[in-house]
């Protein structure tokens, strides 16, 4: 049923907890796959650096599992960057004996060429061999050729979780392998890695990990260039969480997918928190819960998605093949929900601001500006909208920007050239602005409220400066020149930086 990872970074207490979990849910667990570093595999797609003493400790911890639980171990060698040479195959066969003598009878081997030689199978005829998910197996003929080469267990490319046509076709392949090749091949899909569906840089990510050789070399997601992949997509795409290549959170969808595969591969080999998420999913599955992801339960509650739209998404993605350019169901569910959420947020903010209720302190209310207490309360309440990304063009000395920041978990972007040293109100009032450098006053006024927030300040509104604004905003305040032409120019210039659903 479930193939689950052993995380090599567990503390002793966490490892004991993991062992007790395995004993309790043994009836649901197919095997435990573990990081094993033996020549020629001193690195793999996980990317972590271990020394030789750590290699031995990792293996020793793994060997405890079958003794205590009776659950089989599966050794993972998935570095496809290791050259598929005869010499490296000899190294693997030689050093695998240590694992074999400890009872390991399942192994992931990354090279079909090695399997075609038959040497590993001859040395270890009773070992089940898995392919690696890094080979992106998606087609029927690929499965047949891999089984002919000697693989017993096929890890499909994760994208097949949204390709029911191909999963159905794979049932014909399974029958062919049994009838014609005499192999009862097992199928597996990775369920909860949390990666972008049909990720265009997935192979490059794994290439980086597979070739990382120094402990002081940053892991992939600690490099600056990685921002342009998953972190940027998550930050900028409102539909990100609907697009990721995870099994849907619903128990009936897992049951449906289990009609096509034999084993659900679970994630968590490099992340302790992801391993504990895996364990929680299995607990909920065993209980018969309808929703298997705790995070999804919170996500739905916080964002108030209508069930009928969730149902449409659920049935559509079964065969969407991650063709997001053509499908758009993830965009639609997000946009429709955002419209309702935004309208509700506006109504709520108006009511509360009319009563002068918000999270604002008197200090912020006293910051001078061309505004009022009620408007400050309003913007503070508006920025409570889920996933708020705030853009203010024309911030002056920060009265409204500070109001948006205080007490809110937001991404905030300020744009001004601070060319006006003194704003003149259109009505006869004195705003008591500070007679100092306007930008420095702005920075002073917002500084107490920026902690823990992503705040971008752009000292210009030129076309080049727009590229510095990292996200599309859904709460927007324009306080520049107030003419029809200026408003039109603003919306035209900033269109690419404003979300499809927004409050202006």
Q: What is the CATH number of the domain that holds 490?
A: 3.40.50.150
CA–CA separation, 400 and 375 (whole Å): 8
Look up residue 431 and give its two tokens: 């705003």
> What was the pLDDT predicted at 486?
85
**SS3 at position 169:** helix
219 and 152 both lie in a single domain? yes
Final residue of a structural domain among 292, 326, 358: 292
* Type and span of the H or E element at 310: helix 307-316
CATH number at residue 259: 3.20.20.120
Q: By percentage, how much of the chain surpasses pLDDT 70?
A: 92
Task: Look at residue 462 and tell me whether its pLDDT is greater than 70.
Answer: no
243 and 104 in a single domain? The answer is yes
Whether the predicted pLDDT of 303 surpasses 60: yes
The reply to whether 237 falls in a domain is yes
pLDDT tens per residue across span 93-147? 999 999 999 999 999 999 999 999 999 999 999 999 999 999 999 999 999 999 9
- Would 339 be classed as within a structural domain? no
Residues 364 and 223 in one domain: no
Strand order in the sheet with 454-458: 454-458, 411-415, 389-393, 473-478, 498-503
**pLDDT over threshold 90, residue 383:** yes
Domain-located, residue 362:
yes
Q: Running DSSP on this structure, what letter comes out for residue 12?
A: H
User: For position 429, what pLDDT does the model report?
Assistant: 46
- The answer to the question of residue 75 being in a domain is yes
Q: How far apart are CA 27 and CA 218, in angstroms?
A: 39
Within a domain: 211: yes
Reported as a single tens digit per residue, the pLDDT across 193-234 is 888 999 999 889 888 887 887 767 888 888 899 888 988 888
Quick one: 196 and 89 in the same domain?
yes
Question: How far apart (Å, rounded) are the C-alpha atoms in residues 207 and 217?
Answer: 14
Structure tokens at 245: 């290549």
Which of 292, 310, 335 corresponds to the end of one domain? 292
State the chain's mean pLDDT as an integer. Answer: 89
**Boundary of a domain, candidates 266, 292, 318:** 292
Distance between CA atoms of residues 492 and 504, nearest Å: 14
Residue 59 has pLDDT above 70, yes or no: yes
Whole-number pLDDT of residue 102? 94
Q: What is the pLDDT of residue 217?
A: 80
Q: Which residue has the higher pLDDT, 25 or 370?
A: 25
**Is 2:284 a contact under the CB 8 Å cutoff?**
no
Answer yes or no: are the C-beta atoms of 281 and 192 closer than 8 Å. Answer: yes
- 315, part of any domain: no
Residue 483 lies in a domain: yes
Residue 277 and residue 373 in one domain: no
* Same-domain pairing of 32 and 133: yes
Based on the fold, state whether residues 366 and 448 are members of the same structural domain.
yes
Please check whether residues 358 and 251 belong to one and the same domain.
no
The tokens for 270 are: 């490099």
The confidence band for 432, taking pLDDT boundaries of 50, 70 and 90, is low
Q: Is residue 317 part of a domain?
A: no
pLDDT for 428 equals 44
User: Which residue bears the tokens 């705003």?
Assistant: 431
- Report percent pLDDT > 90 for the chain: 62
Asked if pLDDT for residue 421 goes beyond 60, the answer is no
Residues 286, 360 within the same domain = no
- Give the residue from 206, 190, 345, 205 showing the smallest Cα distance to 281: 190
pLDDT band per the 50, 70, 90 thresholds, residue 469: confident
In 322-472 the beta strands, taken as DSSP E runs, fall at 389-393, 411-415, 454-458
CA–CA gap between residue 144 and residue 174 (Å, rounded): 9
Q: Is the pLDDT of residue 427 over 50?
A: no
Average pLDDT of 57-64?
A: 82
User: Which pLDDT belongs to residue 141?
Assistant: 97
Question: Are the CB atoms for 456 and 413 separated by under 8 Å?
Answer: yes
Structure tokens at 225: 């260039």
What domain range includes position 122?
A: 2-292
For residues 285 and 142, membership in a common domain is answered with yes
What's the total number of domains in the chain?
2
Q: Which of 165-179, 343-357, 384-398, 476-490 has the highest mean pLDDT?
A: 165-179
pLDDT band at residue 60 using 50, 70 and 90 as cut-offs: confident
Res 452 pLDDT > 90: no
């Amino acid at each position: 049923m479930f193939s689950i990872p052993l995380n090599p970074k567990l503390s002793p207490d966490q490892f004991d907890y993991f062992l007790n979990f395995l004993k309790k849910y043994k009836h649901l667990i197919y095997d435990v796959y573990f990081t094993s570093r033996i020549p020629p595999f001193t690195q793999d797609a996980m990317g972590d650096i271990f020394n030789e003493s750590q290699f031995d400790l990792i293996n020793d911890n793994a060997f405890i599992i079958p003794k205590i639980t009776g659950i089989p171990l599966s050794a993972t060698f998935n570095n496809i960057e290791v050259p598929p040479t005869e010499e490296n195959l000899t190294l693997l066969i030689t050093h695998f004996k240590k694992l074999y003598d400890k009872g390991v009878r399942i192994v992931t081997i990354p090279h079909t060429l090695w399997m075609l030689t038959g040497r590993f199978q001859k040395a270890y005829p009773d070992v089940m061999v898995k392919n690696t998910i890094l080979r992106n197996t998606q087609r029927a003929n690929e499965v047949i050729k891999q089984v002919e080469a000697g693989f017993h267990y096929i890890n499909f490319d994760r994208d097949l979780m949204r390709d029911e046509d191909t999963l159905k076709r794979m049932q014909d392949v399974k029958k062919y392998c049994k009838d014609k090749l005499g192999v009862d091949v097992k199928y597996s899909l990775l369920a909860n890695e949390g990666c972008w569906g049909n990720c265009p840089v997935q192979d490059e990510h794994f290439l980086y990990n597979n070739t990382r050789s120094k402990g002081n070399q940053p892991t992939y997601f600690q490099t600056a260039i990685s921002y342009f992949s998953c972190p940027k997509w998550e930050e900028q795409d409102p539909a990100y969480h609907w697009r990721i290549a995870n099994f849907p959170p619903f128990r009936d969808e897992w049951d449906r997918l289990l009609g096509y595969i034999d084993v659900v591969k679970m994630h968590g080999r490099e992340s302790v928190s992801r391993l504990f998420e895996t364990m929680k999913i299995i607990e909920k599955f065993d209980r018969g819960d309808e929703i298997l992801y705790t995070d999804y339960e919170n996500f739905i509650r916080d964002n108030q998605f209508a069930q009928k739209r969730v149902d449409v998404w659920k049935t559509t993605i079964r065969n969407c093949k991650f063709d997001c350019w053509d499908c758009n169901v993830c965009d639609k569910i997000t946009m429709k929900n955002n419209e309702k959420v935004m309208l509700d947020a506006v109504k709520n903010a108006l009511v509360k601001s009319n009563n002068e209720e918000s999270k604002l302190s008197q200090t912020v209310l006293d910051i001078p500006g061309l505004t009022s207490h009620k408007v400050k309360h309003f913007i503070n309440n508006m920025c409570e909208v889920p996933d708020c990304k705030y853009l203010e063009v024309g911030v002056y000395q920060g009265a409204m920007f500070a109001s948006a920041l205080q007490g809110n978990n937001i991404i905030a972007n300020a744009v001004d050239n601070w060319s006006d040293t003194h704003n003149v109100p259109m009505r006869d009032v004195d705003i008591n602005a500070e007679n100092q450098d306007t930008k420095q006053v702005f920075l002073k006024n917002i500084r107490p409220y920026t902690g823990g927030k992503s705040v971008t300040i752009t000292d210009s509104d030129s076309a080049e400066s727009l590229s510095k604004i990292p996200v599309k905003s859904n709460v927007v305040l324009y306080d520049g020149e107030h003419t029809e032409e200026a408003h039109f120019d603003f919306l035209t210039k900033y269109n690419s930086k404003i979300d499809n659903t927004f409050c202006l």
